[in-house]
Structure 1
């Protein structure tokens, strides 16, 4: 067998001793080492290690990026064509517009002395709390602050808590579950032992207990919830999925072809875990926002603006006023929490249907 260098930097072999490739033969065998780097053992070329020219490397990267973009676009189209997914995306877009609208309104239309969500007070409308009116579309709370302004500002806190918790939880669960699933032995047993302990520790209850000892800011709440969620059930599910991917034939083929552990994990295990981690991240947002609202409602956090804190302030002043004058200050943030969590839950359900082939076939 003779060989010749191909146009894309590979060493092509598959011709006869004369060097000419016979007609009618399919694509030639593409080896990745030059002839000087190949070793013969019993007349058989031993496993080659892939090398690229600069042009071949960029072509390979661009091809992968194009394929990834096409898959992402198809998944987004499938998500938007799903009734639950479309509903969730619309709700998230509404809450996102609330985050963007509040600073614009404060800079252009709303005077800060009247509509500041923390320090604002309207002395022309008395007594507080006041019901909804043209001046205050959702009324004011017992401290004279505009409820709509607080509602818009609180959306930023909910997004921040949810996204930070999701990042922490997904990172920890992927590391712990992926390592435990790929490596056997004592490391697997130790990591799964830790995960079993955290499964028995419900995040809201644990954070309520810690809230009795110290008042937490929202970043602390978000990180703590992400750690508790990532080290618990999510890590166990990721480990199970890692074992499933590890048993696939293409993993064995990659190892036989000379791929090391880092190559297999980076190129095969992690891409296989990506759909699962996205679904976990979306559901983590729901749990984190509910937990933060619960802690704020029980006054286990520091004083910062959030929907849970709005409910706490409302129920504190509710003791001094009748329900006719206070309902809007409690109902508005409660409905916002319900719709916000429902939006991400619907997106998570739709993503599960889109990403999971077995559910997609139903």
Structure 2
């Protein structure tokens, strides 16, 4: 009954000319009831962008394969796209696009914004995903605040993570002291809160470097293998299968046990991203890319004479981005935990400050002082766990947006 009421409101808005708000209502209907054929048909009728209309037609035909109107409309749009929007160059390479009217550009922008709003509505239904965004924002504030506090509020040297000894509160380690040392001092007289904030920056370096590298490597492996097939696909698939034999976090721990003190956070993130992107992420992305290659708009692009570079960059890769974002977030979790575990094993140098090193130093002092202040172990352990969990929660939310099966369930 609620769906029928919303659908009636959408039809009324269409008759009054307010297609933008009508599209939002229709998208809300198909999110709650993906099998609503009338809503899909209405979306097709009010969508001016051929590519977006084709997407809605594919969704409609997937649920109603015998719909003759939808099949005819799809064939019409494919023919119109071929005839009106694309013209091949004399050398058969990249297609040359004709000038797009401003009205069509605005329609394309409106369709894109409507899709973003629909994806956000689906994303925010996952409360853990919203919690992950809040936690990432909190850690971002921590990373930005440390250098500012070092130059302004914390004018004394006692908060410096490497040389900030405070003789006023010896012997070390010392429990929390307000307001000078909110979380106390470690076994070397260094402020724990300052170390906690300073460790956030290298964690972000590892996180974003690993995520971006994974995105690039997995996209390259998947797109090239799915498009060219043959020997190239076989070579790339064999590389991915070989790397999949050993989980990337364990492989990085093995490598880090030998070379961790010789590489920085940036190099660690790059290496982790390459291994993760070429193994599990590449396998999943390749499977998705192979499905995309069978879609009608891909066949239409090939029939117009578009070259491999154009098809991959303008048609294949954009449709892979939602799934790429999921694997980026999942990679962060493994990379941060692997780096923290290596540091926890005591393989990091003192200058390589991170949360794992803080836990290792705290446990080292347990033999000297069994009644160790709680903040020395709990604060860095909790920070490492929440940092990894935040990106995992966001990845689950992005998975809801990228996976059509989950869309249907919600």
Given the two structures, how large is their TM-score scaled by the length of structure 2?
0.72
Aligned residue number for residue 342 of structure 1:
389
Give the Cα–Cα distance (whole angstroms) in 1 for the partners of residues 122 and 147 of structure 2. 34
Aligned residue number for residue 130 of structure 1:
174
Q: 1:32 to 1:244 in 2, by over 3 A?
A: closer
2:140 aligned with 1:93, yes or no? no
2:148 aligned with 1:104, yes or no? yes
Aligned residue number for residue 366 of structure 2:
318
Query: Any idea what SS the aligned residue of 1:338 has?
Result: helix
Cα deviation for residue 342 of structure 1 reads 1.2
Cα deviation for residue 50 of structure 1 reads 5.3
- For residues 2-61 of structure 1, give each alpha carbon's deviation from its aligned partner in whole angstroms, at most 9, with x where no partner exists: xxxxxxxxxxxxxxxxxxxxxxxx99x79559xxx9xxxxxxxxxxx75424xx377766
Give the Cα–Cα distance (whole angstroms) in 1 for the partners of residues 101 and 155 of structure 2. 57
Give the Cα–Cα distance (whole angstroms) in 2 for the partners of residues 50 and 217 of structure 1. 45
2:307 aligned with 1:260, yes or no? yes
Q: 1:112 to 1:68 in 2, by over 3 A?
A: farther
2:172 aligned with 1:154, yes or no? no
Cα deviation for residue 213 of structure 1 reads 3.0
2:209 aligned with 1:164, yes or no? yes
Within a 5 Å distance, the mapping from 1:52-201 to structure 2 comes to 52-53=98-99, 56=100, 64-134=108-178, 135-201=180-246
Q: 1:32 to 1:73 in 2, by over 3 A?
A: closer
Give the Cα–Cα distance (whole angstroms) in 1 for the partners of residues 107 and 191 of structure 2. 53
Runs of 5+ unmatched residues, structure 2: 1-75, 90-94
Q: 1:57 to 1:154 in 2, by over 3 A?
A: farther
Q: Which has the higher helix share?
A: 2
Choose from 334, 355, 359 the match for 1:307: 355
Give the Cα–Cα distance (whole angstroms) in 1 for the partners of residues 252 and 320 of structure 2. 29
Cα deviation for residue 292 of structure 1 reads 0.7
Higher gyration radius (CA): 1
Aligned residue number for residue 294 of structure 2:
247
Cα deviation for residue 73 of structure 1 reads 4.1
Q: 1:154 to 1:57 in 2, by over 3 A?
A: farther
Give the Cα–Cα distance (whole angstroms) in 2 for the partners of residues 282 and 212 of structure 1. 25
Choose from 310, 323, 327 the match for 2:374: 327
Choose from 235, 239, 248 the match for 1:203: 248
Cα deviation for residue 69 of structure 1 reads 4.0
Runs of 5+ unmatched residues, structure 1: 1-25, 38-48
Q: Name the Cα RMSD after superposition.
A: 2.5
Query: Any idea what SS the aligned residue of 2:199 has?
Result: helix
Preserved CA contact (<8 Å) 2:187 2:365: yes
Cα deviation for residue 291 of structure 1 reads 0.6
Give the Cα–Cα distance (whole angstroms) in 2 for the partners of residues 103 and 74 of structure 1. 39
Preserved CA contact (<8 Å) 1:293 1:308: yes
- For residues 160-212 of structure 1, give each alpha carbon's deviation from its aligned partner in whole angstroms, at most 9, with x where no partner exists: 11110011111111101211111111111111111111001222332333234
Aligned residue number for residue 258 of structure 2:
213
Query: Any idea what SS the aligned residue of 1:325 has?
Result: coil
Query: Any idea what SS the aligned residue of 1:150 has?
Result: helix
Q: 1:208 to 1:251 in 2, by over 3 A?
A: same
Give the Cα–Cα distance (whole angstroms) in 2 for the partners of residues 117 and 124 of structure 1. 17
- For residues 122-143 of structure 1, give each alpha carbon's deviation from its aligned partner in whole angstroms, at most 9, with x where no partner exists: 1111211111121211111000
Give the Cα–Cα distance (whole angstroms) in 2 for the partners of residues 122 and 94 of structure 1. 28
Give the Cα–Cα distance (whole angstroms) in 2 for the partners of residues 61 and 258 of structure 1. 24
Cα deviation for residue 149 of structure 1 reads 0.8
Q: 1:176 to 1:51 in 2, by over 3 A?
A: closer
- For residues 247-269 of structure 1, give each alpha carbon's deviation from its aligned partner in whole angstroms, at most 9, with x where no partner exists: 11221122223322222212211
